[in-house]
Structure 1
Amino acid sequence: MIQRSQQGNSTIWFDDEIISDPTLPLFDASYWQEQGKVVGSASGRGTTWFVQLDDMQAALRHYRRGGLFGKLVEDHYWFTSTEQTRSVQEFNLLRALIQSGVNVPRPIAARAVKSGLTYQADLLSERIPNAKDLVSILQENPLPEVMYHKIGQEIAKMHNANVNHTDLNIHNILIDGQEKVWIIDFDKCCQQPDGDWKQNNLNRLKRSFLKELNKRQIHWKESEFDVLEKAYSSSR
């Protein structure tokens, strides 16, 4: 069950099936390092820390701004309400996607720390076991056609739940050891009525394939995207 805990100027939402004590410094990477439970990290917009919980590994991410404005205001956001903070919105969106049968990481805990008119945010979510993103996979080998079919179906499931993934790219699509497709990174994404955004998601994804084809010479050809789109259309 999802619980909410108020600790000073921090509001924490957590899954009590996984987190028994929300007063622990769950969002502090140094805490996990002291416990000897940091099992890896990934660099992007800041560092995502992978930590070992009792029954799963989790990804700890601190929300940071990108672009030019991010150089000026690195990790503070304008506060309107706790329910509108980026961490709790992504937390709740992941829960809604899971309820709709979409393969996404399980949200574990989210935090918003209010400071005057702004806030900072963090998210702790499941790390998908034995999974690689499409970039890593396609740098080594081409994917069989059946996997593009699965990717198209998974995107259709997400769109059938009316979720607009505003940054759908091949870094955010994973395949695990059982050849199960996962979609990750739902920051700034939302549920909304049908519209052109669904095709825009697909267009953005195709541009991502093309970008990595030129940048990293991944094993991919445009005809494979046709397979993905056909599977997507048949699942809508």
Structure 2
Amino acid sequence: MKSVTENNHAFWYDEQLLKEPVEKAFDAEYWHITGKVIGSATGRGTTWFVQTETVAAALRHYRRGGIFGKLVADSYWFSGWEKTRSYQEFRLLQQLRESGVNVPRPIAARAIRTGFTYKADLISEKVANARDLVAILQQTPLYTEMYQKIGREIRKMHDAQVNHTDLNIHNILIDEQQQVWIIDFDKCYQQSGDNWKQGNLERLKRSFIKEVGKCDISWLESDWQPLLEGYQSKR
């Protein structure tokens, strides 16, 4: 990881993955002008999918949610470069990959300080030919072995002592090779002990139940058991 701090900007990036000028890579207009935008997704803001020289990537600007987010859309209290959300997520993704967890490769992170606050962005690899569990389950049920694979991937994440504070079925993807991926690690962190892990699993189960009513996904209470079996099995 290369780190550059100049004026009120800080950049961290993987020189093997980012060949474009890091100062321009976080500007969506740069990718539009060069004709490298390959798609987009809308959530709290727009995530731009771009084709870098090395890989397809996702460019995301950090935005707040909830009522407070309507007042302060994308500014955060500054307490050190390495405490910024972008740096924290960049490093966490690196650590997860080193632990063998299927997460997107982090490409670059940026933070811009203005007085006591900062704004931040992250570029990570786009998981190729993958859909989240909601999109898949709206069309077809999953088989038992896939739920077991999902459980095993979550267990790998927990064995790396990473607390995914927003573990839900929008943040679990399956690609065309039937590999399971976990995404969106903003505000997530490494935590010692085991007491918090059950809470992660319960949150995930609630998201299955919620989406049954909201999006009419193909999921039954009995589908939870093979996921738990995969989680509890030894790798």
List per-residue Cα deviations over 1:148-201 (Å, max 9, x = no partner): 000000000000000000000000000000000000000000001123210000
CA distance in 2, matches of 1:166, 1:182: 16
Structure 2: runs of 5 or more not aligned: none
Q: Cα gap change, 1:198/1:23 in structure 2, threshold over 3 Å: closer, same or farther? A: closer
CA distance in 1, matches of 2:163, 2:132: 20
CA distance in 2, matches of 1:175, 1:168: 15
List per-residue Cα deviations over 1:77-99 (Å, max 9, x = no partner): 00000000000000000000000
Q: Which residue of 1 aligns with 2:174?
A: 175
Structure 1: runs of 5 or more not aligned: none
C-alpha RMSD over aligned residues: 1.0
1:40 partner SS? strand
Structure 1 segment 32-181 matched on structure 2, within 5 A: 32-181=31-180
Q: Cα gap change, 1:230/1:81 in structure 2, threshold over 3 Å: closer, same or farther? A: same
Aligned AA (1:35): T
List per-residue Cα deviations over 1:82-141 (Å, max 9, x = no partner): 000000000000000000000000000000100000000000000000000000000000
CA distance in 2, matches of 1:222, 1:127: 31
CA distance in 2, matches of 1:57, 1:235: 33
Contact 2:20 2:52 in 1 (8 A): no
User: Post-superposition shift, 1:207?
Assistant: 0.4
CA distance in 2, matches of 1:186, 1:148: 21
Does residue 1:26 correspond to 2:16, yes or no?
no
The count of residues paired between Structure 1 and Structure 2 equals: 235
Contact 2:13 2:109 in 1 (8 A): yes
Q: Which residue of 1 aligns with 2:13?
A: 14
User: Post-superposition shift, 1:6?
Assistant: 2.0
Contact 2:11 2:22 in 1 (8 A): no
Aligned AA (2:159): N
Moved over 4 A (4+): none
Q: Which residue of 1 aligns with 2:3?
A: 4
Aligned AA (2:43): G
Using the TM superposition, name which of 179-188 and 21-30 deviates more. Answer: 21-30
User: Post-superposition shift, 1:55?
Assistant: 2.8
User: Post-superposition shift, 1:22?
Assistant: 3.8
Aligned AA (1:226): Q
Q: Which residue of 1 aligns with 2:199?
A: 200
TM norm structure 2: 0.98
User: Post-superposition shift, 1:19?
Assistant: 1.6
1:69 partner SS? helix
User: Post-superposition shift, 1:231?
Assistant: 1.1
Q: Which residue of 1 aligns with 2:224?
A: 225
CA distance in 2, matches of 1:99, 1:156: 15
Using the TM superposition, name which of 84-93 and 49-58 deviates more. Answer: 49-58
1:51 partner SS? strand
Aligned AA (1:150): K
CA distance in 1, matches of 2:132, 2:80: 34
CA distance in 2, matches of 1:20, 1:143: 39
